[in-house]
């Protein structure tokens, strides 16, 4: 493997997308991961910096651009350096606030 390349299962684990390497392998094989729009068919698929991963997880889709390969599974702050999150922002689920009360007595 050339410098800067890594198996997708290891990268998903080091980037803290999943909790274990075996879960990363299962995710890759389940068809829920795409690399540059191509469905991943093997957990040994190689990813490189610049690759865009589309990952379907728990009723959400994450789009991550690989920035660098991982060396270890470190804290979340270290894992965040491995990717750029290109996912659409989640909608704000806070209730809207009205300026006027519903039962206004003004005439």
- DSSP-assigned letter for residue 28: H
Domain that holds residue 14: 6-85
In the chain, the number of structural domains is 1
Please name the residue that has the structure tokens 């991550």. Answer: 64
Q: Is 4 left (phi over 0), alpha (psi -120 to 50) or beta?
A: left
Q: pLDDT (tens digit, 9 = 90+) per residue, 13-64?
A: 999 999 999 999 999 999 999 999 999 999 999 999 999 999 999 889 999 9
**pLDDT tens across 72-99, in order?**
999 999 999 999 999 887 666 666 666 6
The total of other beta-carbon atoms located within 10 Å of residue 31's CB is: 11
Cite the beta strand spans of the chain per DSSP E: 6-7, 33-35, 38-39, 46-47, 52-57, 60-66, 83-85
In a domain, 90, yes or no: no
CATH (domain of 54): 3.10.290.10
């Amino acid at each position: 493997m050339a410098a800067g390349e890594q198996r997708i299962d290891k990268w998903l684990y080091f980037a803290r997308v999943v909790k274990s390497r075996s879960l990363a392998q299962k995710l890759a094989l389940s068809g829920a991961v795409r690399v540059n729009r191509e469905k991943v068919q093997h957990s040994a698929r190689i990813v490189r910096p610049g690759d865009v991963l589309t990952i379907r997880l728990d009723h959400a889709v994450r789009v991550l651009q690989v920035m660098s390969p991982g060396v270890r599974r470190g804290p979340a702050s270290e894992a965040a350096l491995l990717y750029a999150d290109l996912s659409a922002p989640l909608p704000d689920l806070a209730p809207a606030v009205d300026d006027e009360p519903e039962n206004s007595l003004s005439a």
